[in-house]
Chain A
Amino acid sequence: MAAYVRRAYSSFLTHVIDIPPRLLSLLFLSLLACIPVIVSPTALSIYFLGVLITANIMAIFASSWDLLVGRAGQISLGHALFFGIGAYASALVLRYAGLPLWVTIPIGVLVGTLAAVPVGFPCLRVKGPYLALVTMALPLIATGILYYYRDYTGGEQGLPVPRFFPFIQNLYHQRVAEYYLTLLALLISAIIIYKIVNSKTGIIFVSILDDEVGAKACGINVTKYKLLAFAISALFASLAGSLQAPLIYLASPASFSLNLSFYAIIITIFGGIGTIYGAIAASYIIYFLDQYILTIPQLEILGTKILPLPTVWHPLIFIVVVIIFVVKWPRGIARFVVEDGLTELSKEREIEERGKHIWKKYKKKKQEATESTAEG
């Protein structure tokens, strides 16, 4: 059903409304940007903003996963590794070097990105289920190291991290500021990822996803590009991690958890793996669903209380939905994306836009060439 909805939606966009996706994203973004202005400063809004802030962070995290898995085809089931590294690197530098947040966060991102190299190398040699298991095991190893050196890392308690804006007294205003900060981070991340995905590098990533052997036959250094995919993905994942720590005042071991890794997977598959913008949009949808649809309204069917659902059930519901999604489209999850995501390259209006342009110039050149040979 969702497939039909999605197809109807995208053909609606291209045929009826004829809004290019860029404009739509702009609208969506403006809406997001306006929210704090519209909402009044109540306790509920503080909570609401908190949910949106989490959604912003998770949108960055999920889109980084989508880049690695949906575009470059490297199955990563332990993406929280980079998230955690970002959080802890930033927190550790903060604690031991006393540097302020706006310095430690870029350092956290740098460390996370560099970590992709030693992590990437074993991952390059293995494929499929082996890769999946290795990526699942890595955050566990990281957690183990964390607990072993508990004197430095705070063990299960984690490391305390200061807030972003300690000088703002009003909690509501603080949330608003944090909201805009994370939204800005998301905007920048999304733009960069989008640019990468639509560049030659992005095309090469997809070729690796489709057929590594064929890519090698085209002269692509597959190892280099796989590492690159890991590095870029790790960059944004660790950005998400180092941004989240000051929001919960803590760098906690939960930032390495399998559940966190799976949030990225749930969100991305929900939004359409490979699309990038799907991962971002779905982040908001999922968090909204999670916090509001499932928690607040009351719903009874045939005398049994369906809603609100106890929190414990939420992850279960989402995972089951993911399973249903994956099974119902046995052409493969990545195939599911062809209609939606990768049609960025072959969508009708792009054809008209770019096709005409290239074809015209090309025809002109050819004409000139034939004319000159006719004369000469």
Chain B
Amino acid sequence: MHMLEVENLTKRFGGLTAVNKVNFHINEGEIVGLIGPNGAGKTTLFHLLTGFLKPDSGTVKFRDEDVTGLEPHKLVNKGIARTFQVVRPFRHLPTIANVMVALECPRGRKKIEWLKTCERKALEMLEDVGLSEMMFEPAENLAHGDLKRLEIARALATEPDLLLLDEPFGGLSPIETEYLTKSIRRMHLDGHTMIIVEHKLHALMKLAKRVIVLHYGEKIAEGTPEEIAKNKKVIEVYMGKAM
């Protein structure tokens, strides 16, 4: 059984077909890359997989259960979480509260108790991404790199099995990229399956065992990073037609 099965997924916006009969599957424990030029439909695909858009046709099956078109929060409860390409923290809340929103805080006997438990758990998640120093800082004061890490911490706080990362390396410095690569490896070891959309191909190829390529909403190639790098069609799509 595949963890995620996507069959003939299609989404149209007026005259534009953003995602066109896309088929693929994800197995437990994989890190799969999703690449393609801008406008290929990668983020749209993410929206479809996480319930923010309803597909026009096609199905999405998560662990053999049909989850096509379910509401976002229901999908999160089933174990699918995502980050966003453009960071969207909760600006008014301090960093720690940003994570607390996503946490499932079991109610203890006393109210004081479980709020503190919640905060403690949130702090651990912040530690994992290296943001614990900022815990009471309003999220809007954070630097871009920190916000990217916060996005991931928040997604992890929902305790997902499948994590969809949308351009997590966007705008990061080389050091931050290193750090994030290590974090993703650690998350992988912890048992998270991941689909990563990324333009920074060198960072992605280090992590992904399998890569899917989209172009104008269609899947044009699939394979290991080495295979994809040699694939003529993919090269054409990224570089333009050879002379």
Contacts and interface: CB of A to CB of B under 8 A. Distances in A.
Asked if A and B form a direct contact in the complex, defined as CB atoms under 8 angstroms apart, the reply is: yes
Interface of A: 199-200, 203-204, 206-207, 209-211, 213-222, 334, 337-338, 342, 345-346, 350-351, 354-355, 358-359, 361-362
Given A210-B92, A216-B72, A334-B92, A355 B118 contact: no
Given A199-B111, A215-B101, A342-B93, 14 more contacts: A200-B100, A200-B118, A203-B101, A206-B93, A210-B90, A211-B90, A217-B81, A217-B154, A218-B154, A218-B158, A219-B104, A342-B92, A345-B93, A346-B94
Contacts of B154: 217-218
Contacts of A214: 84, 88-90
B116 interface: yes
B68 to A, nearest CB: 17
A211 B88 contact: yes
A362 B123 CA distance: 9
B209 interface: no
B44 to A, nearest CB: 15
A211 B92 CA distance: 10
Given A219-B76, A350-B136, A362-B120, A213 B88 contact: yes
B73 A346 contact: no
Nearest to B97: A203
Contacts of B97: 203, 206, 345
B77 interface: yes
Contacts of A221: 71, 73
Interface in B207-234: none
A345 B95 CA distance: 10
Nearest to B72: A216
B102 interface: yes
Interface residues of B, number: 42
Contacts of A345: 93-94, 97, 136
A193 to B, nearest CB: 15
B60 to A, nearest CB: 17
The 8 closest A-B CB pairs, nearest first, are: A219-B76, A218-B102, A216-B72, A210-B90, A346-B94, A346-B136, A207-B101, A214-B88
Contact of B73 (A206, A209, A219, A334): A219
- Residue from A211, A214, A337 whose CB has the most chain B CB atoms within 10 Å: A214
A346 B138 contact: yes
Contacts of B52: 213, 216
Interface string B85-120: 000111111100110111011000001000110111
Contacts of B158: 218-219
A319 to B, nearest CB: 26
Given A210-B90, A222-B73, A354 B119 contact: yes
A210 B94 contact: no
Contacts of B92: 206, 209-210, 334, 337-338, 342
Interface of B: 50-52, 71-73, 76-77, 81-82, 84, 88-94, 97-98, 100-102, 104-105, 111, 115-116, 118-120, 123-124, 135-138, 140, 154-155, 157-158
Given A346-B138, A355-B136, A217 B91 contact: no
A218 B136 contact: no
Contacts of B137: 346
A200 B105 contact: yes
Contacts of A199: 111, 115
Contacts of A355: 135-136
Interface of chain A, helix or strand or loop or mixed? helix
A94 to B, nearest CB: 36
Nearest to B135: A355
A68 to B, nearest CB: 16
Given A218-B157, A334-B92, A362-B123, A204 B101 contact: yes
Residue of A206, A213, A217 most packed against chain B (CB within 10 A): A217
8 contacts: A200-B115, A204-B101, A207-B98, A216-B71, A219-B77, A219-B104, A334-B92, A337-B92
A337 B209 CA distance: 47
Contacts of B71: 216, 221
| Residue among B51, B82, B92, B115 with max Cβ neighbours from chain A (10 Å) | B92
Contacts of B101: 203-204, 207, 215, 218, 220
Nearest to A352: B136
Given A213-B52, A361-B120, A338 B73 contact: no
Contacts of A207: 90, 93, 98, 101
Nearest to A343: B138
A211 to B, nearest CB: 5
Given A199-B111, A216-B73, A358 B123 contact: yes
A134 B85 CA distance: 34
A338 B115 CA distance: 22
A220 B158 CA distance: 10
Contacts of A358: 116, 119-120, 123
A204 B138 CA distance: 15
A355 to B, nearest CB: 6
B115 to A, nearest CB: 7
A215 B138 CA distance: 17
Contact of B93 (A203, A213, A359, A361): A203
Contacts of A354: 119
A215 B88 CA distance: 10
B90 A206 contact: yes
A199 B100 CA distance: 11
A216 B93 CA distance: 16
Contacts of A200: 100, 105, 115, 118
B71 to A, nearest CB: 7
A345 B111 CA distance: 16
A217 B90 contact: no
